[in-house]
Structure 1
């Protein structure tokens, strides 16, 4: 948790302890945010700040980028555009009008759920992109076989599939090898 005010930090810690078992570490200096998050590798980051700045959000983006984790940010007030900047920096929950101990647990639960949903969506998007790239590669390899052997598309795919089975590889891997070899020969 990031909180510079000791009394306020104690209120938040009490709220978290009432909500369940948590291993809580308070970071009082925002300038050490990236270093502390990297060193401690927390499951979730809770930031309580009166008025966030773009510098704080940049520091947060650097801190949470390599090891993605849910981030809940409680702010007393927010300038125009900062909520969008916070979401882009990786904040899962951005709550304006300060932090109240009774709201901590429900907001953290929402931040975790939202983080997991976006994590699944990013994974699905990455898988879809990978599959599309493989499909393009297979189509390119089929086109090369069709031209070189004078066969139809279905037969070209059958040739790729047989080569993949014979070599114990995926069709996409065989297609990649064919396209790479053809590029070296031309």
Structure 2
């Protein structure tokens, strides 16, 4: 007996290798059935599947229009091909990606993870375990995004410190101030103008470069 689905506000898009042709062959029919099983499993788990899209060159535009919370890739060996389209679709606005595959060749798993896949399931579609896979993928994605923000903040702070140090050096060399006096003057100017210390420092540097 399946567990009762809990309400979930995540909007998911399923991406598959190709759309069915007018006269689908056996492989296409099997792929369509896999996608149907996956979609049902996601719906039974309480997720909102807003679209099923082919992994073609138009995928980035469709993703930008739909704005899903997560992308679920359903593919076999062709997954290596559509992964490029999925990565392009999430390049400017990152989203968690979950990839389900029946392909026994796992040599490209590292490449998939490096490309931004949050979870890679090589055992096909685990109907009874879809929710844990999705939740783990979302948690991992959010953790990685937090680390990215912290790293970006640290780099920004380092760059600002370099700008302030350079501005202090200019004041010290050109006006004979001590380091504390130079810093105090920059800080006062920032408070008087209501702007950040690094911005005052950058303006001073720009003015000094202009005057030579």
Per the TM superposition, whether the score is higher than 0.5 is yes
Going from structure 1 to structure 2, the CA distance change for 1:171 and 1:78 (only over 3 Å counts) comes to farther
Unpaired segments ≥5 residues, structure 1: none
In 2, are the aligned partners of 1:60 and 1:89 still within 8 Å (CA)? no
SS of 1:42 mapped into structure 2 = coil
TM-score for the superposition, normalised by structure 1: 0.91
SS of 2:51 mapped into structure 1 = coil
SS of 1:93 mapped into structure 2 = strand
Partner of 1:30: 55
In 1, are the aligned partners of 2:43 and 2:49 still within 8 Å (CA)? no
State how far apart, in whole Å, the 2-side matches of 1:9 and 1:53 are.
Answer: 13
Deviation at 1:178, TM superposition (A): 0.3
Deviation at 1:21, TM superposition (A): 4.2
The alignment yields a C-alpha RMSD, in angstroms, of 1.7
Partner of 2:27: none
Going from structure 1 to structure 2, the CA distance change for 1:168 and 1:25 (only over 3 Å counts) comes to same
Deviation at 1:81, TM superposition (A): 4.6
State how far apart, in whole Å, the 2-side matches of 1:113 and 1:50 are.
Answer: 25
SS of 1:25 mapped into structure 2 = strand
State how far apart, in whole Å, the 2-side matches of 1:17 and 1:71 are.
Answer: 17
More displaced 10-residue stretch of structure 1: 168-177 or 95-104 = 95-104
Aligned length: 185
Greater strand share, structure number: 2
Unpaired segments ≥5 residues, structure 2: 1-13, 19-30
Q: Deviations over 1:77-97 (max 9, x none)?
A: 264652222122221111112
Partner of 2:95: 69
In 2, are the aligned partners of 1:52 and 1:78 still within 8 Å (CA)? no
State how far apart, in whole Å, the 1-side matches of 2:209 and 2:171 are.
Answer: 14
